[in-house]
Structure 1
Amino acid sequence: MSGGSDSQRTSPSAASLSENELPPGYVCSLSEELVAKAREELQEKPEWRLRDVQALRDMVRKEHPTLSTSLDDAFLLRFLRARKFDYDRALQLLVSYHSCRRSWPEVFSNLRPSALKDVLASGFLTVLPHTDPRGCHIVLIRPDRWIPSNYPITENIRAIYLTLEKLIQSEETQVNGIVILADYKGVSLSKASHFGPFIAKKVIGILQDGFPIRIKAVHVVNEPRIFKGIFAIIKPFLKEKIANRFFLHGSDLNSLHTNLPRSVLPGEYGGTAGELDTAAWNALLLASEDDFVREFCQPVPACDSVEGPALLPEGLAADAQCDDAVRAGKSQLYACY
């Protein structure tokens, strides 16, 4: 996570508001440069920020009074930024976010770092210490580190969402977004078969429509022939904008370096940032145990409800409709293998 002086400094725009307008607990941590970027790319106007948050809060209270959700300024801002301050779309994203959590208990129940020590220790996932030139954190995923006999694939998915939840706490990440670097070296047919259409549709549905994060690019390296089958499973569920942000580099690290400079990459990927170290990110997550316990390990109030499957992202409400996709996906996998 970024830890420079900007994170401790109130932006000039936020500082210009009167003390009465700044609610307790929220102080903008964006640098002046990021305030300008948020204005240009996200339509975020610092002078209207708190008004916009209050508008979203009022909509939640009026349209979803039984939804158990934080209404803090900092929390609601995540959803406004993810939807470029469109109130209606931000509200839909917020409701979908909670719907997703309730619809997939295998992933979201008891979601805390100490419950995922095996996944973290495997090196399946980490966040690189340096951001890309746009300020995006780089999430590295290495499926070859996963041994299916040790734990189910849903544990890997839990680790991904755990990481995203930690990243999105940063206002810098809310504005800049993230980049995913996926290394498919050594992924076999048997391992790929665990990531079928059911799982793919759920994961992509949440990432696209149920989580307040901006995915700016997905870089895939060392993909074997089998990846064509994996991508054939994934692609039907991707929106065109996201599909266009996938870049397949194979073993050509020079191709990767045109997008991610060597200065931010570890030596394993032709970079100059030293050896890959997963310990620092694991330690950061484990140090956040109490935060995750408060957020994900408390009983859901009996009155808490989300109004029906229509509010779920596509792919989470009707798994039975995936039968044809399952058959087609298996055919693609075997053909590519």
Structure 2
Amino acid sequence: MASGSGVTATALSVDKCPSRYEANDISPPESHRTIALQELGETDVRRVESLRLLREWIATHPHIRRCRTDALFLLRFLRARAYDVQAAQTTLVRYLTMRQLFRIWYENLDPSDRYMRELVENVRGCLPLGLDRSGRMVALVKVRCYDVARFNCYHLGRLQHMLFEAFFDDVELQIAGGVAIIDCDGATMGHFVCFKLSDIRNFMDCLVHALPVRVKEVHIVRLPRIGQALGNLVLSFAAEELRKRIFFHASMDEVLKCVDQDLLPVEYGGKSCPEEITDNLKRRLADKRDTLLLLDRMEIEVEPYAHLWRQSDEGDVEFGMEID
């Protein structure tokens, strides 16, 4: 698995204008240096200068009240937007707004929460597999593992975003991006009707415009006929650039032409052990817990940006809704 950043919450702050910023010596690992230069245009000089500009902008922004300004956090946005500083600023504003507007998805991403703990330790429906030969982070989602009678779409959404945040500071993911394999074999009608239309629309909008992640490929495998309508909806809400990176496959054999088989669990013909993956993930989440909870202390004035997301008049985006 990716090595991780090594940054701990004790070294982090949400002071948007600290008296002293941390050092910027976060150069890419040798394995990703060429990717950073060729795909992002990243150089040591450009990285340092872009961080300076982004920090100055945050410090004087009239609506941002509290925000992480450490280099790894800000590099998420700079790298996701290939060092277009203005685009990174827009994404950061959307990210901060998104976290407050859809608190049910993004707040209290606590690995010790009983539902999150059960989903990680027992359900094992989302497995981070590690880096492929292109340096990209690969994750496997097994839809059938989720008991929709026990877990609703908000549990699953929070799990997904907790895992996102647990890996967002990884330099390798920031630079090379991620690949998702979504195995729909064994999925039932319940899996496809648990998401409301506005949930899908807003999640896709967040993925494209607010989440600082480079989505390289999404492989959806063995989607049953009952799920095709949902698949079409996802595509209709995706931006054109993302649509080009979403692929549908009738079998895992087709997927194996696109991903490194050795990364997959043994049940898929690979060499990875699900128990070992889960143990590694549990350790990472425990190490990241304080950093994950620190995110809730960031704050932006939401009103100027609330119009960026459409919300149903029927209340299907509920603020602070209890899911316990």
* Fold similarity call, TM over 0.5: yes
* Counterpart in the other structure of 1:15: none
**Correspondences of 1:1-337 after superposition (within 5 Å):** 1-3=1-3, 24-115=22-113, 116-120=116-120, 121-128=122-129, 130-251=130-251, 253-271=252-270, 273-277=271-275, 278-296=278-296, 298=297, 304-309=300-305, 312=308, 316-320=309-313
Q: What's the secondary structure of 2:274's corresponding residue?
A: coil
* One-letter identity of the residue aligned with 1:126: L
CA displacement 1:69-115 (0-9 Å, x = unmatched): 11222221111111111111100000000000000111122111111
* One-letter identity of the residue aligned with 2:128: V
Q: CA deviation at 1:35?
A: 2.3
Gaps of 5+ in 1: 9-21, 324-337
Asked if the contact 1:200/1:234 (under 8 Å) is kept, the reply is yes
Q: CA deviation at 1:279?
A: 3.1
* One-letter identity of the residue aligned with 1:72: D
* One-letter identity of the residue aligned with 1:122: V
* Separation of aligned partners in 2, 1:231 and 1:293: 33
Q: Given the two structures, how large is their TM-score scaled by the length of structure 2?
A: 0.84
Gaps of 5+ in 2: 7-19, 317-324
Larger Rg belongs to? 1
* Separation of aligned partners in 2, 1:259 and 1:43: 26
Asked if the contact 2:265/2:273 (under 8 Å) is kept, the reply is yes
* Separation of aligned partners in 1, 2:234 and 2:292: 29
Give me the CA root mean square deviation.
Answer: 2.5
* Separation of aligned partners in 1, 2:184 and 2:3: 30
* Separation of aligned partners in 2, 1:90 and 1:180: 23
Change in 2 beyond 3 A, CA 1:63/1:290: closer
CA displacement 1:202-225 (0-9 Å, x = unmatched): 211111111111010011122211
Q: Given the two structures, how large is their TM-score scaled by the length of structure 1?
A: 0.81
Asked if the contact 1:82/1:212 (under 8 Å) is kept, the reply is yes
Q: What's the secondary structure of 2:66's corresponding residue?
A: coil
* Counterpart in the other structure of 2:16: none
Task: For CA contacts below 8 A with separation 6 or more, give which structure has more relative contact order.
Answer: 2
Change in 2 beyond 3 A, CA 1:229/1:3: same
* One-letter identity of the residue aligned with 2:304: G
Change in 2 beyond 3 A, CA 1:65/1:308: closer
* Separation of aligned partners in 1, 2:205 and 2:295: 22
* Separation of aligned partners in 2, 1:254 and 1:109: 38
CA displacement 1:166-192 (0-9 Å, x = unmatched): 111111110011111111111112321
* Separation of aligned partners in 1, 2:62 and 2:268: 47
Q: What's the secondary structure of 1:114's corresponding residue?
A: coil
User: Percent identity of the aligned residues?
Assistant: 25
* Separation of aligned partners in 2, 1:282 and 1:153: 22
Count of matched residue pairs: 298
Change in 2 beyond 3 A, CA 1:293/1:23: closer
Asked if the contact 1:140/1:180 (under 8 Å) is kept, the reply is yes
Asked if the contact 2:137/2:173 (under 8 Å) is kept, the reply is yes
Q: What's the secondary structure of 2:248's corresponding residue?
A: strand
Q: What's the secondary structure of 2:131's corresponding residue?
A: coil
Q: What's the secondary structure of 1:112's corresponding residue?
A: coil
Q: CA deviation at 1:29?
A: 4.5
Asked if the contact 1:42/1:85 (under 8 Å) is kept, the reply is yes
